[in-house]
Amino acid sequence: MKETDIQSLGILLFPRFELLDVFGPAEMFGVLRDRVRLIMVAEEAGPVASNQGPRVVADADLDDCPALDMLLVPGGMGTREDVNNRKLLDWLAERGHDTPLIMSVCTGTALLAQAGLLEGRPATTNKRSFQWVTEQGPAVEWVREARWVDDGDRVTSSGVSAGMDMALHVIEREFGAETAEAVAAGTEYEWHRDAAWDPFAKLYEP
């Protein structure tokens, strides 16, 4: 396989991002090292502290980030501040025009909504933070009960661990069911394949 055949997946980091939002999907896509190259990107290259404390090194900053085939936006407490981060939101809006697939996990959907990337589209998010996130995008068609929502070039998922189910769904969509099943088996992960499976929507009903 040629280097040009490998798809690039950018994973956005920001202060106080949620660890599993990043590393759950990163584990799933990272298994496909001969098909997917992971690139950590942040406002500034270098270490970025997660909400749990450990830091992750960003390979590229917003200005130097190469063209991407896929972009993953995690959630975390840092989204509360970054919904007002004009530089980051403008970058997301620009990337929305030329990145074939953009995904979000948890409250990362709030950043996509604020960047104008979900207007008139169905989307979901963390159910515990559902009200706050939906306030960030009144023109979004919010789906309260969903593990993830696939709208073609936008795929959004519910809270934290849902990112792994979404990642496997995207892997199945892009690389085939056999590949996705092999990734799930290899990571000994019990994959929830039903996008409508969402007990947390009921748990956190308003």
Distance from C-alpha of 29 to C-alpha of 16, rounded to nearest angstrom: 22
Prediction pTM value: 0.96
Distance from C-alpha of 53 to C-alpha of 133, rounded to nearest angstrom: 23
What pLDDT was estimated at residue 4? Answer: 55
pLDDT in tens, 92-133: 999 999 999 999 999 999 999 999 999 999 999 999 999 999
Structure tokens at 3: 């280097």
Q: 10 Å Cβ neighbour count for 73?
A: 31
Q: Which residues of the chain have pLDDT under 50?
A: 1-3
The CATH architecture one would assign to domain 3-190 is 3-Layer(aba) Sandwich (3.40)
Residues of the chain with pLDDT > 90, as a percent, come to 97
What pLDDT was estimated at residue 1? Answer: 40
The ranges assigned to domains in the chain are: 3-190
